[in-house]
Structure 1
């Protein structure tokens, strides 16, 4: 083993964490399922319901600005981006996918704040539905693990 590692289970302890969630409403049946799975996993990992702030925005392009506002407000240990972009017949899919991902990454790096990006980018609705629960859970775990890692590194 290379170096000391506290192990994943200790990093999935969310009891002391404050988490913000930004959910895009576009493709709402998928984003609602993402949000439910995310909430359920946050609670299962010990994050207190009162320590979760959940806001909604129209679509994936609006997610980064809401994340930025939350990061600037402060008080969060990690943030989570939830959305669903499904390929259409035009270049719009690439534009929205690329720009939303770049915006999420920029906010994370600018504020040195972990942001779990669970904005799905799929070819069709079937792929989105197949991923909605697992990716919602994954986002919660990533947010908690990275918040605890950054705390350990501080």
Structure 2
């Protein structure tokens, strides 16, 4: 027996039954966003989240995500939120501005509203890089949202 065996631990719980999930998805780079959404929804449903407990909000782009996430969080109706989309590097500094502000805003929503937000907004150099990542990232966001909602529920209890 290890000296660490008696330390309480919270194990990951990926059973989504009974959880309410809000998803925001940017329409910019829509083919990537839709791929992310499909893999995310498939995983949420496979893990027991009811379709009636999922809301999908389509937005113009990444910079609109933090406000929409904050508004969803403030309703108190959701156990976790998910942000999906793609910001793909162009020839200008705009990529950095959008990527940095979006990520900072998502983090701020989590901390200010005490709700987990899985960030599935891909920031890549090319369309091809985003296409390669979209299926895995969509599934990972579903798992992250469920796991974090369950973890916080356990901690708060």
Provide the TM-score with structure 2 as the length reference. Answer: 0.94
Matched, 1:7 2:19: no
Matched, 1:50 2:52: yes
Match of 1:80 in 2: 82
Residue 6 of structure 1 deviates from its aligned partner by 4.3
In the TM superposition, what whole-angstrom CA distance separates every residue of 1:13-53 from its partner, at most 9, and x where no partner exists?
A: 00010000000010000000000000000001000000001
Match of 1:107 in 2: 109
Residue 90 of structure 1 deviates from its aligned partner by 0.6
In the TM superposition, what whole-angstrom CA distance separates every residue of 1:51-87 from its partner, at most 9, and x where no partner exists?
A: 0011100000011111011011111000000010000
SS at structure 1 position matched to 2:92: coil
Q: RMSD in angstroms over aligned alpha carbons?
A: 1.1
CA distance in 2, matches of 1:7, 1:74: 25
Provide the TM-score with structure 1 as the length reference. Answer: 0.96
CA distance in 2, matches of 1:81, 1:109: 15
Residue 126 of structure 1 deviates from its aligned partner by 0.5
Q: Which has the larger radius of gyration?
A: 2
> Runs in 1 of length 4+ with deviation above 2 angstroms?
1-8
The runs of 5 or more residues in structure 2 that have no matched partner are none
CA distance in 1, matches of 2:26, 2:137: 15
Match of 2:41 in 1: 39
Instruction: Give the number of equivalent residue pairs.
Output: 152
CA distance in 2, matches of 1:87, 1:103: 19
Residue 7 of structure 1 deviates from its aligned partner by 3.0
Where in structure 2 are the equivalents of 1:1-154 lying within 5 Å? 3-8=7-12, 11-154=13-156
